[in-house]
Amino acid sequence: MDTQTYTAQNSDEKIVWYSISCTYLFWLLGAVYIIAPVIAWVLLLKTIKRYTFDHISYQAHLATKTWCVAMFIMLIALVVAHLDYQLGTAKLIKSSIGWAKGWALLAIFPLLGMLNIRAELIYRACCQVCKHTLILLPLFLIAWLLRLPETLYVSPTSIIGGPGPEFFSVSLYEIDPGSGLPRWRLFTPWAPALGMLGNLFTIFALQERSIKYKCYGLAGSLVMILISQSRLAIACYLFLLAYFTFWRYYKQPWLYVIASPVLLIASLFGSQIIDKIEYSILAIKAARAGSTRVREELAHIAIERWSNEAIWWGHGIVERGPHLVEYMPIGSHHTWYGLLFVKGAVGAVALAVAMLVTALSFLRHSFSLPLSRVGLAILLMLMLYTFGENLEILAYLFWPGLLVMGIALKQQSQRNINAKQNA
């Protein structure tokens, strides 16, 4: 398809296009962490003005409303926990700013789906990032071969505050302490996060209509996954391939003709198959035993302290773990454990409800609306990554996926409105 088709047609699309396609430029400036919250709140204020003062009506989707309520509950949990533990006004303000840069984005970007932004523009912009990755990859490899410094510099933008200097650093490569092999994180704070972005870009590349950009997207996203050396990223990639293969051929009778005997054989040898899967999981864990041990200990500490100290509202802030977990923050590497520790059962239930409502909505429309299938794929990917990452801390990276989810929900709302008008 003609690339001119996806030229930004309004100011909102221009903001989104340049925010994504210029990712590597922002990375050099140490501004990737800043861009997403800035454009989220700027576009939200523009949207409020547009729909309030210009008297434009819009009926938000139930799932979109659920995300807004759920993330507001996160803020309430944060405030209550700070008051319970008497953490002080300074920490409350700091944590509230952190909420605005993290959890709030999970509600704002789906809400921004109401704007006149095309999903195809987002697909193309992400394929551009994949193209830039392929172009720059030889430089990153050469940097490792020549043993150049792993991190060139930490951007002065770090003075604004953030989770850590790795969010503002320009890293050429890093050495895995467990295996001694190189791995890359590029414009993300750590390598597994790059694998997550690779999977998101795979979803978008599969929707790209231009063969050229589809190749850029698929090749670049696969490279991101492989150089991240993330076990979860590879598992998610295989799942996404199976997911989109099903949707491509689900109307074909031969798919069910093949599936029936396969499922029958699988049922006959179920115990052996389960054993093989368990052995495979153990082998994957053993491949990076140190990382697996730290994750398990972090989970154990988070659950124990949550259940004994702060069941409903959590502790309010992240705490540094002991030497046993290499001083990693308690509840890190896992969204649910992190939520329970910081925001308690209230926060965990809020996120679970938002995800469930959205999943049911996408499932309902997946057989008739292709964009809902894309939205469901993004949501399933996020669900899978809740068991390996903290979503709120990486929302500034996967925000294009949240925006596409919002666009898909907007399409559903418009379809429902049209159906009522024609009834």
> Domain coordinates of the chain in residue numbers?
7-422
pLDDT of residue 2: 46
pLDDT of residue 3: 46
Q: Report yes or no: 71 and 309 within 8 Å, Cβ to Cβ.
A: no
Cα 206 to Cα 96, 255, 272: the distances in Å are 37, 20, 34
204, HSE (Cβ side, Cα atoms, 13 Å):
33
At residue 51 the predicted structure's pLDDT band, cuts being 50, 70 and 90, is confident
* Residues with Cβ within 8 Å of residue 31, at least 6 apart in sequence: 155, 157
Mean pLDDT, residues 401-420 taken together: 89
Cα–Cα distance for residue pair 341/347, rounded to 1 Å: 10
Mean pLDDT, residues 203-228 taken together: 95
Q: Report yes or no: 339 and 351 within 8 Å, Cβ to Cβ.
A: yes
pLDDT over threshold 90, residue 335: no
pLDDT of residue 284: 52
* Residues with Cβ within 8 Å of residue 43, at least 6 apart in sequence: 12, 15, 108, 112, 115
Is the alpha carbon torsion for 167, 72, 337, 378 positive or negative?
A: negative
At residue 218 the predicted structure's pLDDT band, cuts being 50, 70 and 90, is very high
At residue 1 the predicted structure's pLDDT band, cuts being 50, 70 and 90, is very low
Q: What are phi and psi of 94, to 5 degrees?
A: -60, -45
Q: Report yes or no: 376 and 364 within 8 Å, Cβ to Cβ.
A: no
Mean pLDDT, residues 369-389 taken together: 94
Instruction: Please name the residue that has the structure tokens 């082998």.
Output: 283
pLDDT of residue 71: 96
Least confidently predicted of 151-165, 210-224, 255-269, 387-401? 255-269
Listing DSSP states for 129-177 in one string gives HHHHHHHHHHHHHHHHHTT--SEEEE-GGGGG--S-GGGTEEES-EE-T
Q: What are phi and psi of 349, to 5 degrees?
A: -65, -40
pLDDT over threshold 90, residue 351: yes
Mean pLDDT, residues 91-114 taken together: 93
pTM, entire model: 0.90
Model confidence over 256-308: pLDDT tens digits? 666 667 666 666 655 565 555 555 555 555 555 556 677 777 888 888 888 88
Cα–Cα distance for residue pair 379/384, rounded to 1 Å: 9
User: In the chain, pLDDT over 70 holds for what percent of residues?
Assistant: 87
